[in-house]
C-alpha cells in the first residue's frame, strides 16, 4: 500500500445556518504581501475547481492599484456565465510557503466568511493535498513528490 504523509491538518470552519444546522467550509488563511511589504491576511475558500486564485475586486489596494480594473483583462467562466476579471501578479504566503502567482480580481458580493477562492494555478504545484469530508479536514504536505 502506498502511503502519503501530511505535515499540516486544516480543520474546516463550522458555519451556523439560520435553521441551526452547521455547514463546514475549507477556509484557508492566506497572506498577501503588498508591493510595499505589508502583509494582509484573508480567508479564501479552498477550491479545486478554481483555475486561478480569485479575490473580490474591493481588495485592489493590496496590489498598489487605484482601481480594480487596471490589469490584464480576462474572461472567467462562472456558474452564471462569463464575467470580466483582471489579472495581476501577486506574492502570497500560504501553508508556510511564499509563492509568486497570478491573482484575478472580480466583482462579487461581499461574503461574511471569505474574501475569494484559493485556486490551483501555481499554488497547487507546491503542495500535496488530502481531503477528508467525513472528518471535515484538509491535509497538506509541502513535499508533493
**Any domain includes 3:** no
pLDDT bucket at 5, cuts 50 / 70 / 90:
confident
Q: What is the mean pLDDT of residues 124-145?
A: 92
In contact, 40 and 60? CB cutoff 8 Å = no
**Any domain includes 2:** no
The CA distance from 25 to 43, in Å, is 11
**Any domain includes 34:** yes
**Any domain includes 65:** yes
Residue 75's CATH number: 2.40.70.10
DSSP type of residue 71: S
Residue range 50-102, pLDDT digits in tens: 999 999 999 999 999 999 999 899 998 877 788 899 999 999 999 999 999 99
Domain that holds residue 49: 8-141
So what's the pLDDT on residue 2?
75
**Any domain includes 43:** yes
**Any domain includes 135:** yes
**Any domain includes 21:** yes
DSSP type of residue 34: P
The CA distance from 91 to 33, in Å, is 6
**Any domain includes 95:** yes
Residue range 99-133, pLDDT digits in tens: 999 999 999 988 999 999 999 999 999 999 998 99
- Structural domains counted in the chain: 1
With a CB cutoff of 8 Å and minimum separation 6, the contacts of 21 are: none
Phi and psi dihedrals of 62, rounded to 5?
-60, -30
So what's the pLDDT on residue 79?
78
Cell digits for 108?
462579487
Name the average pLDDT for the chain.
93
Amino acid at each position: 500500500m502506498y502511503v502519503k504523509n501530511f505535515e499540516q491538518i486544516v480543520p474546516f470552519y463550522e458555519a451556523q445556518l439560520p435553521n441551526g444546522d452547521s455547514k463546514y467550509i475549507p477556509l484557508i488563511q492566506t497572506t498577501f504581501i503588498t508591493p510595499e511589504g505589508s502583509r494582509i491576511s484573508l480567508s479564501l475558500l479552498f477550491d479545486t475547481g478554481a483555475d486561478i486564485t480569485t479575490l473580490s475586486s474591493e481588495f485592489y489596494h493590496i496590489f498598489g492599484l487605484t482601481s480594480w480594473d487596471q490589469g490584464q483583462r480576462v474572461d472567467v467562466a462562472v456558474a452564471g456565465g462569463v464575467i470580466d476579471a483582471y489579472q495581476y501578479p501577486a506574492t502570497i504566503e500560504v501553508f508556510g510557503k511564499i509563492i509568486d502567482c497570478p491573482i484575478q480580481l472580480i466583482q462579487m458580493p461581499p461574503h461574511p466568511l471569505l474574501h475569494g477562492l484559493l485556486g490551483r494555478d501555481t499554488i497547487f504545484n507546491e503542495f500535496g493535498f488530502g481531503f477528508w469530508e467525513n472528518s471535515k479536514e484538509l491535509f497538506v504536505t509541502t513535499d508533493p513528490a
